[in-house]
Amino acid sequence: MALPLASSQSTALVLGVSIGFLLGSIPFGFILVKWRTGDDVRGFGSGNTGATNVGRVLGRRAGLAVLLADALKGLTAVLIASWIGPSAAAAAAFGAVAGHCFSPWLRGRGGKGVATMFGGFVILAPVCAAVAAMALATVVALTRTMSAGSLAAAVALVVASWGLAMPSGTMLAALLSSLLVIWRHRGNIQRLLRGEENRLGKGRS
C-alpha cells in the first residue's frame, strides 16, 4: 500500500504546484499597463510587474486593482487545489508565488510575489497571513519603506506557521514562498543596508 499512497501524494503535489504556477503566472500588471498605455511596465521604475510599479505608471487606483488581482491569483489557486487535498493546496500556494515571480508569458520576469503570497495564505493559513499583514503594516509605519515591510511579512509568515504548529505542508509552503519573496527583494536588501532605499513608494521599490 505504501507505493500507491506515495504516488498519490506526489500527484497531488505536482497538480497543486501546476495549478498555482499557471494561475500565478498571469501578468495582470503587465496586461493592464499594456492595455492602457501600450507600454511595457517592465521598462519603468523597478522593472517589476507588481502593484507598486503599476501604481507608479498608472496611479494609485490601478496599483490597488493589480494588488487585488495578484492576491486573487493565490487565493483562487489554493481554493481550486483544495479540492484535491491539503497537500495540493499548500503546493498551490507556493506555486502561485513562483508563477508570479517567474511568469513564462514574460520570459521568466514578473513581480516580487508579496500580494500573491498573502492571497494564498489567507485561505491556507488565515491566522498566519494576519500575523504577516500586521508585521508588514508595523514595519512600513515605522520605516516608511514598503520593501522592509514586505521582508518582515515574509519572515513573520514563517515564524507564525511554525509557532502555531501548522501542518508540515503549510510550514514548508510558507518557508519556500517566503524565501522566494526575500530572494526577489535582494536588490532592496542591498539598498536598505546602504541606507539608500526609497520610502513610501517613491522611486524604485
For residue 56, give the C-alpha cell. Answer: 507608479
Rounded to whole angstroms, what are the CA distances from 75 to 86, 98, 119, 121, 174? 14, 14, 5, 7, 14
- Total Cβ atoms within 10 A of residue 30: 25
pLDDT in tens, 92-145: 999 999 999 999 999 888 899 999 999 999 999 999 999 999 999 999 999 999
Percentage of the chain with pLDDT > 70? 94
pLDDT of residue 1: 33
Are 27 and 103 in contact by the 8 Å Cβ rule? The answer is yes
Rounded to whole angstroms, what are the CA distances from 6 to 1, 9, 124, 165? 9, 5, 23, 24
User: What residues of the chain score a pLDDT lower than 50?
Assistant: 1-3, 5-6, 201, 203
Handedness of CA 68, 165, 149, 31 (dihedral sign): negative
pLDDT of residue 56: 83
CA–CA distance, 174 with 165 (Å, rounded to integer): 12
For the chain, give every domain's residue range. Answer: 2-194
Strands (E), the chain: none
